[in-house]
């Protein structure tokens, strides 16, 4: 899709830990302004939200296109 990205290891499992027993999971992280997250002053630029939603959309479409195969 042309967005800049990097692979990261996230310590928190969020809901993905529980859901992963039933289906393959993945998480899309989007940048917060000044890197501040999990805080009341957390903010994200609308463009970053749109890009994250677009990545999620294409991931779901690709999962469907491949017949829902496990791509771990």
Q: What are the residues whose beta carbons fall under 8 Å from the beta carbon of 27, sequence distance 6 or more?
A: 10, 14, 16
Given a contact cutoff of 8 angstroms between Cβ atoms, the answer to whether 42 and 36 are in contact is yes
Residue 17: its pLDDT value, please?
Answer: 85
For residue 39, give both structure tokens. 């805080």
pLDDT value at 71 more than 60: no
Considering only residues 2 and 69, tell me which one the structure prediction assigns the higher pLDDT: 2
Cα dihedral: 71, 47, 4, 36 (round 10): -90
Which tokens belong to 2? 């042309």
Domain spans of the chain, in order of start:
41-67
| Total-model pTM | 0.75
**Interval 13-54: pLDDT, tens:** 778 888 888 888 888 899 999 999 889 999 999 999 999 999
pLDDT band at 61 (very low <50, low <70, confident <90, very high): very high
């Amino acid at each position: 899709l042309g967005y800049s990205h990097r692979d990261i290891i996230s310590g928190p499992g969020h809901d993905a830990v529980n859901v992963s027993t039933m289906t393959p999971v993945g998480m899309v992280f989007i940048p917060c302004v000044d890197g501040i997250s999990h805080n009341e002053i957390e903010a994200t630029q609308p463009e970053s939200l749109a890009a994250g939603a677009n990545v999620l959309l294409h991931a779901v479409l690709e999962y469907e296109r491949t017949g829902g195969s496990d791509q771990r």
